[in-house]
Structure 1
Amino acid sequence: MAERSANEVAKIGVIGVVHETNTFAPGLTGLDAFRKDWIVGKEAFCERYTGTKTSMGGVIAACQELGAELFPGFYTQATPSGLVTDEAFGAIVDGMVDSIEPGIDGLVVILHGAMVAASYPDAEGEILRRVREKVGRELPVAVTLDLHGNISPEMVGFSDLTVIYDTYPHIDPYERAVEAVYLLNGTVKGAIRPVQKLVHTRMLVAPQAMLTSSGVMKEMMDIAFEMEKEPGVLNIGVAGGFPYSDVADAGMTFVVVVDNDAALADSCGKRLRAAAWERRERFVVRQAEAAEAVELAVRHPEGPVILIESSDNVGGGSPADATHLLPHLLAAPKKSLIVIRDEEAVRQAAKLGIGAVLEYAIGGKSDDVHGEPVLVRGLIRTLFDGNYRHIGAYMTGQYARMGLTAVLECGNVTIILTEKRVAPWDPGHVKFVGLIPEQFHMIVVKSAIAWRTAFGDIAKHTIEVDTPGCCTANLHRFTYTALQRPIYPLDEIQ
């Protein structure tokens, strides 16, 4: 591709798919899961995402700032869940590739980094391979990735620029997309010549250890930020990885992007790997058993106390119907709040109506790992269609859909029953059903870290809970078959 002069208008294309695949989660993810965000063409893309603090909104804003002409193609996304079917993957990748406009000068590909399809363990590597087949080797391609991406050599090899979220909870997708577009524009104009280096740490890290505002992950981010100040370094991406995808390249990685200096990229990668390995033991998460966790929370003088049930982390692909904590909450003397997905129960509540009493065995219906149904009896306080927009710091303005939703009051326990899985990324999932989170002594969050964008500013104390589930922080609970070994902490490595 011929370089464009500084005064010429760059033509920037954008396509994407975002799915975080938990290969240990029950069920498969088919096309229907992606239909709620099935965006084709410029008009639909801009109408949906202009003004939102999303990756898509960032691409739109950056092109406007640069005076670049934007050519959106196909974009879709789905809530984290189980293995993606080949039918869904085929339709999505074909839609992406076919929608790339001819004659563009550069392409942004919005991906997650931990998508797994039945026949394509490295789904994003396959997507980028097919993109390259379509656009050729010369067209600059920039990729944005989630911090939880399992980054493969193919993903880096088929792209020119990789920009990864710097935050968890993820409050910077917009900013990282803007950065990616600016770097892509510089590449198109010939101002920079990116060289990438991928480094794997041989460490498997649970998301519960990836909080970027404090602790060991913040230390790694600070090292990367300091490295980005060095001459010639364009971007340092720190990917904690996603241990719930059993794929060869799962684990913590770094992507170093420099300006035409392979030796510099190699040097930065070695320093980052050494820093991570030195801190490896601090990435291991400590938790309390369910009964102990509730007892500790009850004894705490102030609430809300956040009970972090990360084994049922919706943002990691879990079924959102785990009941391991529910019996202990029902027996506790202080007010608590929990969200549980149960389509049958919420439909029964809708039939009975507001003010009626629902007696029903709820939750624990997805598999035999996330607990058994628990019989509850409670007053139906609210019914809600489940549709709202994010009002908090995470992807402000993003659409959210809980499906049919009922608020059930069972003594000291308030249960939000939802038809669909809902991650606690935004306070809207509580406030839009008329609840005030500060009024609860205990709040159960089916999340690892991202709950902080909903409740972080009101939490008086947090307790990590060790319960079975497909997103548990105890990685020894899983049987990996595809993961490259050895890897810490599953194996002893000298």
Structure 2
Amino acid sequence: MESGKKMRIAVAGILHETNSFAPGTTGTDDFRDKEWASDREIFHNYYEHTRTSMGGVIHAVRDSGAELACGVYTAATPSGIVTAEAAEFMMDALVASLDPAADGIVLILHGAMVAEGYPDMEGEILRRVRSAVGPSKPIAMTLDLHANVSAEMVEYADVIVGYDTYPHVDMYERAVEAVGLLIRTIRKEINPVRALAHPRMLVVPQVMVTETEGPFRELMDLAFAIEQDARVLNVTVIGGFPYSDVPDAGIAFIVTTDGDRELAGNYAEALRAAAWERRERLVLNDIQPAKAVRLAFAEEEGPVILVEGSDNVGGGSPADATHVLKRLIHAPKKSLIVIRDEEAAALAHELGVGAQFAAPIGGKSDRLHGDPVFVSGKIRLLSDGKYTHMGAYMTGQRADMGLTAVVEAGHLTVVLTEKRTAPWDPGHVVSLGIRAETYHVIVVKAAIAWRTSFGSICKRIIPVDSPGCTGSSITDFAYEKVRRPIYPLDATV
């Protein structure tokens, strides 16, 4: 930097967790419908004072005394393959939006985005950005813990910082960390070099929880211990996203040191070996729906959380699976389920509060996730579905479930939403006047992130093994592109 010149940091991003096995595709409108920001006013009105990655970037840049140059930032709810048209449009828009006068760039990416023709979208984004800004301008990148990391990603980004938590409650802190390392790189205080290691393992998100004891928490603790070495700038532990059928899917480790590539490689290899040693412990044993429901109602105290991970909205599922719903129609105790059904939500709004609702719901995306289930009950509440995150996950972020209806059918409360809604925040039920603690059974279409909504009140967790595009049995999926051999698809790796 020239002496006396105020530092300028550009920020941009595209976020999508792509499920190769999910029905349908994801287009430009899916990104515009959720969020699309491209100027300073929108950035500050929408993200300032939020515990999001963008909120962290805004605050870290401001606290450093630098200026923020806002580029295109967009995201879509996890879903199927991104169309080639949407990919090209968004990449062109992102690169064109970057301030050429910026001293460094922060890219907020997910890491598991897949598009038609681009199995490694983040690698392609980085390649295009690097081509546009040249080889010497520092680039920092934040990644989700469920990224699939390629060698190209590690090559083109100078600084890579991934989330340390699942549920992801530290995205703000990791963005602040990335900005700090970027600024030190711009000032030539550090020379970040990186090493990548893949243990060749596919694991489901449910075993990546970091808030309780377990094999993945152990890997995180090993990473934190390595970061105590003054020569190490960052250690990122990646759980991977097994529902993206791409060559680099799976667990990965990125170690960044200050100029010592051999040290980075040695530490990355140690983490690779540690993950491999734990491979058999990183397998989930779920329970069939009928048995899971029986066990839940047999519990004396609730809430009991039925984790329908096979319909995990945060993993790209359609959110309309009915394998658990059909076993709750005659629930003997208070039960709660949120399910996406655009037609049913619209019908409820036509009928009005207090009217009798009677229609088949769910099971409309495909046959894998079940058939529609007839529900008859009273419409208790109607809503536009808008709320603001009030919990630990993305605090302050605005959310939109679309047209929403609360239907009470005996002991069963069904929340019908127009849009797919992940149970990431208690606001998704609190905004509807629902007190989750009064229910004996709560069904969550999630893997782990539901804990930021109901973790503090649940008395027992029962993982449900049902068909779906985010199912817990890796060997059930017809992988075609993942690099083989890989555990547990292959006996030897």
Length-normalised TM-score, structure 2:
0.98
Please state if 1:23 is matched with 2:24.
Answer: no
Q: Which amino acid aligns with 1:37?
A: E
Q: Which amino acid aligns with 2:201?
A: M
Matches within 5 A, 1:124-273: 124-214=122-212, 215-273=214-272
SS of alignment partner, residue 70 of structure 2: strand
The separation in 1 between residues aligned to 2:101 and 2:419, in whole angstroms, is 41
Matches within 5 A, 1:77-476: 77-214=75-212, 215-476=214-475
The separation in 2 between residues aligned to 1:452 and 1:289, in whole angstroms, is 21
The separation in 1 between residues aligned to 2:39 and 2:130, in whole angstroms, is 20
Tell me which residue corresponds to 1:492: 491
Q: How much has 1:43 moved relative to structure 2?
A: 2.1
Q: Deviations over 1:96-145 (max 9, x none)?
A: 10011012111000000000001111111111000011000100000000
Q: How much has 1:328 moved relative to structure 2?
A: 1.3
The separation in 2 between residues aligned to 1:28 and 1:176, in whole angstroms, is 30
Specify every segment of 5 or more residues in structure 2 that has no aligned partner in the other structure, as ranges.
none
SS of alignment partner, residue 466 of structure 1: coil
The separation in 2 between residues aligned to 1:465 and 1:383, in whole angstroms, is 30
Q: Which amino acid aligns with 1:259?
A: D
Q: Which amino acid aligns with 1:371?
A: G
The separation in 1 between residues aligned to 2:47 and 2:144, in whole angstroms, is 18
Q: Which amino acid aligns with 1:200?
A: H
SS of alignment partner, residue 381 of structure 1: strand
Q: Deviations over 1:437-477 (max 9, x none)?
A: 00100000000000000000001100000000000111111
The answer as to whether partners of 1:339 and 1:415 remain within 8 angstroms in 2 is yes
The answer as to whether partners of 2:7 and 2:103 remain within 8 angstroms in 1 is yes
The answer as to whether partners of 1:4 and 1:188 remain within 8 angstroms in 2 is no
Tell me which residue corresponds to 1:32: 29
The answer as to whether partners of 2:18 and 2:80 remain within 8 angstroms in 1 is yes
The answer as to whether partners of 2:323 and 2:369 remain within 8 angstroms in 1 is yes
Q: Which amino acid aligns with 2:26?
A: T
The answer as to whether partners of 1:337 and 1:442 remain within 8 angstroms in 2 is yes
The separation in 2 between residues aligned to 1:427 and 1:262, in whole angstroms, is 44
SS of alignment partner, residue 328 of structure 2: helix
Query: Aligned Cα RMSD in Å?
Result: 0.9
The separation in 2 between residues aligned to 1:176 and 1:444, in whole angstroms, is 31
The separation in 1 between residues aligned to 2:15 and 2:488, in whole angstroms, is 28
Length-normalised TM-score, structure 1:
0.98
The separation in 2 between residues aligned to 1:269 and 1:260, in whole angstroms, is 15
The answer as to whether partners of 2:330 and 2:410 remain within 8 angstroms in 1 is no
Q: Deviations over 1:344-373 (max 9, x none)?
A: 111111111110111101000000100000
Q: Which amino acid aligns with 2:330?
A: A
The separation in 1 between residues aligned to 2:61 and 2:282, in whole angstroms, is 38
Q: Deviations over 1:34-82 (max 9, x none)?
A: 1131111222212211111000000010011111111111100111011
The answer as to whether partners of 2:240 and 2:249 remain within 8 angstroms in 1 is yes
Which aligned segments of 4 or more residues in structure 1 are displaced greater than 2 angstroms? none
Identity of aligned residues (%): 59
The separation in 1 between residues aligned to 2:223 and 2:458, in whole angstroms, is 29
Equivalent pairs counted in the alignment come to 491
